[in-house]
Amino acid sequence: MIKFKLNGKDVEVNLDPSSRLLDVLRNHFNLTGPKEGCGEGECGACAVLVDGRIIHSCCFPLANVADKEVTTIEGFSETKRYQALADAMLEEGGSQCGICTPGMMIAAESLLTQNPKPTDEEIRIGISGNLCRCTGYNMIVKAIQKASKKGDGLW
């Protein structure tokens, strides 16, 4: 039995501890925000926060989450910080087809928590593990920059 906190709630699962956290979130908890893109840690579509830091849930065994706190885009969406980021993404056109968006938001949150006033270069490093197939990187960088300024004090 593996216990952890998922989006603020204590949960327990009795699944194969080597299962990918991604599959557990999607199939067992019906949290479909994290998606499988490449399945090998390169695209970031599966990104979630573990103890507030971005990780790729496609190469993260369930066992490694024991006693940790997992936040998916669904849990994050209930915060003011999410709203600030989502507004900025809308205003800057940071979301096109949308498949990378949950991962991008998770990457932005992980970055801004550690570095509330990042430079553009730091933002690009922060989202360097997330691929946008529409190649809308400039708008995403602008959106994160905007959220950082407008959402002053939230991070």
Partner 1 sequence: MVKHVIPKNLQDALNHLYQGDYHVIAGGTDLMIQKRNSADLPPLFHSNMLYLINLEELKYVMKDEAQIKIGSMTSLETLLHHKDVPELLKEVIKEMASPGIRNMATLAGNIANASPAGDSLVPLYLLDAIVVLASTNQTRYLPIEKVIIGPRKTVIQANELIKEIIIPIPHFTQTSWVKVGGRFADAISKVSFAGAVTVSEGIITDFRIALGAVYMTVIRNRAFEKSYKDLSVEELKNQLPQILTRYQELIKPIDDQRSNKNYRNQVASNLITDFIQKI
What is the contact surface with partner 1 in residues (CB under 8 A)? Answer: 2, 16-20, 23, 27, 36, 39-42, 44, 47, 50, 53-56, 58-61, 63-64, 66-68, 107, 110-111, 125-126, 128-130
CB 43 → partner 1: shortest distance, Å? Answer: 9
8 A C-beta contact, residue 93 and residue 86: no
CB 58 → partner 1: shortest distance, Å? Answer: 8
Q: Which is nearer to partner 1, 36 or 87 (CB)?
A: 36
Q: Which is nearer to partner 1, 37 or 94 (CB)?
A: 37
Q: Which is nearer to partner 1, 40 or 78 (CB)?
A: 40
79 Cβ neighbours under 8 A, 6+ residues apart:
none
CB 109 → partner 1: shortest distance, Å? Answer: 12
- What is the rounded CA–CA span in Å between residue 50 and residue 47? 10
Q: Which is nearer to partner 1, 19 or 77 (CB)?
A: 19
CB 23 → partner 1: shortest distance, Å? Answer: 5
